[in-house]
Structure formats: structure tokens, C-alpha cells
Amino acid sequence: MITFDSLKKNSTLLGLGDLSDDDLRCMLREGDIDGDGGLNQMEFCVLMFRLSPNLMAQSEFLLEEASEQEFDKFRR
């Protein structure tokens, strides 16, 4: 679970050291789907995909590549 306190404590390590407390709280609210004040694993993943469109394209490429490798096994 990512809470405000854990995000604040690790913000410098994450490259977020320049963000204000209000910015960090806004980031948490943006991803907090169930309203419990923190980000669970699923909420974090959803937020990262929303904020990183290139991540989705890369994931699709990797999925296609893995599928082709599996199909190649059956073609032999």
C-alpha cells in the first residue's frame, strides 16, 4: 500500500523530491479508486498505465512477441 507518508518519505528516491505535499496528495487521490487514502497494487498499475501511454504500447508489443514464440513451438 502506498500511503501519503510512504510516498513523502520516499519521494526523493522516486525523483519526486521537488513536489509539494499538495502535489503528492493530488497524485494519490488521482489513483485512489476505492477511496481508502492509499494506492494498492492494482490502483498503482492503473495509474501508471494512465500516466504512461508508451507503457501500454510496449506491453502490447511484448505480448505479441511472446504469443508468436509460443505459436512457433506448435508449428515445428
Residue type, 23: D
The pLDDT value recorded for residue 20 is 94
- Closest alpha carbon to 16 in 25, 30, 53, 44: 25
The pLDDT value recorded for residue 71 is 83
The pLDDT of 7-11, averaged and rounded, is: 91
Element containing residue 65 per DSSP (H, E): helix 53-75
Residue 56 has pLDDT above 70, yes or no: no
Q: How many residues does the chain have?
A: 76
Report the chain's mean pLDDT, rounded to a whole number: 86
Q: In which band, very low, low, confident or very high, does the pLDDT at 35 lie, cut at 50, 70 and 90?
A: very high
With the C-alpha atoms ordered 67, 70, 75, 76, is the resulting torsion angle positive or negative?
positive
For residue 2, list its beta bridge partners.
Answer: 39
- 3-state DSSP helix/strand/coil percent for the chain, to nearest 5? 70, 5, 30
The pLDDT of 5-26, averaged and rounded, is: 91
Report pTM: 0.61
